[in-house]
Amino acid sequence: MKINVEVECTPEEARRAMGLPDLAPVHEKYVGMMVEAIDKQGSPEAFQEMMRNWAPMGEAGMNFWRGLFEGGNKSGG
């Protein structure tokens, strides 16, 4: 037997129904910190260093994302 259930709701409603926390204030603070840091740093190299420090898993995380983006560009172009 196979039963399909479709639920139509917004992402906010789904988050609340599953009991997940509202991380919007944390996200806003994080984005604000990034904007402030970019305004102060200015150079692309400084921004890259900031992202390397903030990224999960540091350099390994940056290499992971770089590989994903490079792989996507090669197959898409």
Reported as a single tens digit per residue, the pLDDT across 11-68 is 899 999 999 999 899 989 988 887 887 787 777 777 777 777 776 666 777 778 778 7
Q: How far apart are CA 27 and CA 23, in angstroms?
A: 6
Is the pLDDT confidence value at 74 over 70? no
Q: Are 22 and 15 in contact (CB under 8 A)?
A: yes
Is the residue at 54 inside a domain?
yes
The per-residue b/e assignment along 48-63, b for 16 or more CB within 10 angstroms, e otherwise, is eebeeeeeeeeeeebe
Question: Structural domain of residue 33, as residue ranges?
Answer: 21-76
Is the residue at 65 inside a domain?
yes
Half-sphere exposure of 74 (CA within 13 A, CB side): 6
Q: What is the pLDDT of residue 75?
A: 55
Q: What is the pLDDT of residue 1?
A: 93
Is the pLDDT confidence value at 77 over 60? no
Q: What is the pLDDT of residue 25?
A: 92
User: How many domains are contained in the chain?
Assistant: 1
Is the residue at 13 inside a domain?
no
Q: What is the pLDDT of residue 73?
A: 64
Q: How far apart are CA 64 and CA 52, in angstroms?
A: 12
Is the residue at 66 inside a domain?
yes
> Which pair of structure tokens corresponds to residue 37?
């840091």
